[in-house]
Structure formats: C-alpha cells, structure tokens
C-alpha cells in the first residue's frame, strides 16, 4: 500500500475514532461511573469475541497454508523411480 494512501486511511480512521470518544464523553458527562459500571461486563464479552475472532483467523490461515503445502502439481514432483541428485 502506498504511504500516502495509508496515511489518508489512518487519519480518517483516527478522526472517526476520536470523534466517537468525544461524543460519548460529552453524552455521558458526569454519569460516567454509572455507565462504566453498567457496561463493564460487556467489555469482557467484546474482548472474548475479539480473541475468538483472532483464534479463528489463525486457525483458518494455518489450515489454508497447510493445504497449499500438500498440493503440488505432478510436473514439479520428481518421478518416484528416479532418484534426485
């Protein structure tokens, strides 16, 4: 990815993320503690879902690479009756 495109995408994503946190902070105001207490257990569920997604992606990628390693065209494989030097 070209650096300019990466920089633009990162800047746009950061602005969205910062704006969301600012609006959330303005909406909650002084009732932050009550909201944190109410939604605190939800953060563990989000973390668990994230870890499960990472594990699933790792497993999918690991199996895909393993399958690709086992599939080799016959033209690249040396015949079994001829010994390689």
- Per-chain mean pLDDT for the chain: 83
The pLDDT tens digits for 71-81 are 655 555 555 66
The whole model's pTM is what?
0.42
Per-residue buried b or exposed e for 20-42, using 16+ beta carbons within 10 Å of the residue's own CB: eeeeeeeeeeeeeeeeeeeeeee
The pLDDT tens digits for 16-70 are 999 999 998 888 887 877 777 777 778 888 889 999 999 999 999 999 988 888 7
The pLDDT tens digits for 25-40 are 888 887 877 777 777 7
């Amino acid at each position: 990815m070209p650096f300019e495109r990466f920089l633009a995408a990162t800047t746009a994503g950061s602005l969205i993320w910062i704006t969301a946190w600012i609006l959330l902070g303005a909406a909650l105001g002084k009732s932050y503690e009550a909201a944190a207490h109410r939604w605190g257990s939800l953060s563990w569920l989000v973390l668990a879902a994230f870890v499960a997604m990472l594990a699933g992606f790792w497993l999918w990628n690991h199996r895909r690479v393993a399958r690709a390693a086992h599939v080799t065209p016959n033209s690249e494989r040396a015949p079994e009756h001829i010994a390689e030097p």
